Amino acid sequence: MQDVQSRIARGRRRVGAAGAVALLIAGLALGPAARADETPAPAPPAGAPAADPVVAQRGDIKLTASQVRDMIRFADPEQRRALESNPNALAQQVRDRMIQLTLLREAEAHQWQQREDVAYRAELARQGQIANSWLAGQVAGDPNFPTDDQVKAAYDAYKSKIMVPRQYHVAQIFLAVPQGASRQTDDDAQHKLADLRQQILKQHADFAALAKRFSDDKQSAVNGGELGWVREDAMVPPIRAAVEPLAEGAIAEPARDQNGWHLIKLIAIKPAAQATLAEARDALVRAMRQDRQMEGQRDYLGNLLKQQPIELNEIELSKFSAK
């Protein structure tokens, strides 16, 4: 219930377009959205039919295609867009869910769910999900909001602070290392990329040709490893750390993330710059609609409490204070 209570505490402040834009001041919100809480899906039954292929597995813990579709379908709109458009975000969500199922299996084996404090907090979380979902459902979205004029007004008010972060045009040769692989397998992948890097630097081997031949990222391999323009805030930390010090045309030392090893070539750099209205539009619309939704929720709560205010027994509450 914490989300509902915090909305009550905010009062009935009307923010409008300018307030919505404030959500973007730290940087134009064009990158992946923050992950939304997922309603846990039941564990897949043993012997899942072939029509529902397994997407991820750890021992007998499985996540099937239908369950992944539900993860996407029941995500909030922002998260759904990110999962549908960003394969890396979807892969991470699947990994997170598998970790959750693994921990759940461990907890159930020790009857952790029967602990009084755990059961209490689980029930609070269930009630909070229902209450927050109900509240969100009481405010109908307006597909005609915001208008072009409203978007432009918001952009004009804050355009000097709405920035597109630095972008890198990169290519890669990627060697996947499965989860749980041996140290030898990991070392072999790293050494292979180090050898390819030396072939490029000293023997003038063609990066694109090597990417087509060796990269496990088949989607980029067909294009010589090219990933196109990538915003710096969309890069995972180890890849960003490898790319940032490079000059255009340089090739980084092999860098590892949770999926495997990457050999990154920096093709070109776009410095951070003020976003154009066209670049900012989608993010502005999302922020303004979110602000309108929150405003509607505050109004709904305000009217609800106006009809029947909450009464506190201050004397009894004072008894819970630390002596």
249 and 290 share one domain: no
Residue 73 DSSP SS3: helix
Strand partners, 163: 274
Taking the C-alpha atoms of residue 104 and residue 40, their distance in angstroms, rounded to an integer, is: 10
- Better-predicted residue by pLDDT, 92 or 224: 224
Q: Is it the case that residue 45 has pLDDT exceeding 60?
A: no
Structure tokens at 322: 């630390």
Of residues 126 and 44, more confidence is placed in 126
Asked whether residue 239 carries a pLDDT value surpassing 80, the answer given is yes
- The answer to whether residues 170 and 157 belong to one domain is no
Task: Inform me whether the pLDDT recorded for 13 exceeds 90.
Answer: no
Which residues, 6 or more positions from 179, have their beta carbon under 8 angstroms from its beta carbon?
Answer: 258
CB 1 within 8 A of CB 127: yes
Whether cis (ω within 30° of 0) applies to the bond prior to 146 is yes
> Has residue 43 been placed in a domain?
yes
Q: How many domains does the chain have?
A: 2
Per the structure, the complete domain to which residue 260 belongs is given by: 166-271
Q: Report the chain's C-alpha Rg in angstroms.
A: 25
What is the predicted pLDDT for the residue at 65?
Answer: 95
Decide: pTM greater than 0.75. no
Give the CATH number of the domain where residue 232 resides. 3.10.50.40
Mean pLDDT across the stretch 22-41?
37
Q: Do 290 and 23 meet the contact criterion of CB atoms below 8 Å apart?
A: yes
Q: What is the pLDDT of residue 180?
A: 81
- Same domain? 38 vs 148: yes
Average pLDDT score over the chain: 86
Is the per-residue pLDDT at 278 higher than 80?
A: yes
Specify if 87 maps to a domain. yes
Within a domain: 253: yes
Residues 207 and 157 in one domain: no
* 323 is a domain residue: no
Q: Is 16 left (phi over 0), alpha (psi -120 to 50) or beta?
A: left
Q: Is the domain of 50 the same as that of 142?
A: yes
- Residue 84: inside a domain: yes
